[in-house]
Amino acid sequence: MDLGTSRKRGATIVSAFGGLLACVLVLVAPSAWGADGDAAVQRALQQAVSQPAPAEVDARAVDTLSFRRDAAVSTRVEQETIRALGRNPGQIADLEKVIGSGDMLREFDKILRRYGYDPNNLGDVLAAHLLISWEVVNDRDSRQSPAGQRAVRRQLMGPLAAVPEIAAMSDAAKQAQAERTAYLTMISALTYQSLKRDGNRQALTALSGSVRQGLRNNGVDLQRVSLGEGGLVAR
């Protein structure tokens, strides 16, 4: 993955948890797809990775999953995230610097645009989450397969838009889910890169296992999918 100028930010994220990996794992363990492991979403994910991506994405599905951003929603999700993660005043202050500045969300948006994704589309955000999680779980860099990066959105867009509960979400609900997922994904990715630079193999193994379990809870084992021109396809 390419997080641009996020090296310092990654160190700040790790320090915000006092160097305790267990606190980070509390964050990355939950699934971006819904804590209850909704069966319809599970089926959509399983369908998506069961076969290569279609040649084109359904324009109607893109429209269904797109949303307009509201600054008030962003502020609410930002503060909810800081409150959920901050264990003491020092951690909260660090998180305010990293999350409250808006830098983390802007960095995530840049990553999506490099993939050819739209940050204002829930399907694209969830596709990026799946792709970056695959990198963390397998210690791989998806930049080795640019065509694969582009294909993952085509895999997910149609199946996700076909889930009635997702199709019925308001713009505010789609935005809130997208931004919660963005924070989850970025903190996982930044922690991964920081631990990798430090050569902390034990912590990397724990992080990988936690991220893997989060997706396994929703029916996708990221150690059993390969990235190629067809996207992330089950082996």
Interatomic CA distance for residues 74 and 51, integer angstroms? 35
pLDDT greater at residue 76 or residue 234? 76
pLDDT given at position 120 = 97
Contacts of 137 (CB under 8 A, 6+ apart): 208, 211, 212, 215, 222, 223
- Inform me whether the pLDDT recorded for 196 exceeds 80: yes
- Classify residue 89 as exposed, middle or buried by CB count within 10 Å of its CB (0-12, 13-18, 19+): exposed
> The pTM is what?
0.88
pLDDT given at position 145 = 94
Amino acid at 233: V
Could you identify the residue written with the tokens 């995530």?
108
Model confidence over 197-221: pLDDT tens digits? Answer: 889 899 899 999 989 988 888 889 9
Highest-confidence range of 26-30, 92-96, 172-176, by mean pLDDT?
A: 172-176
Task: Give the pLDDT band of residue 11 (cuts 50, 70, 90).
Answer: low
- Inform me whether the pLDDT recorded for 37 exceeds 70: no
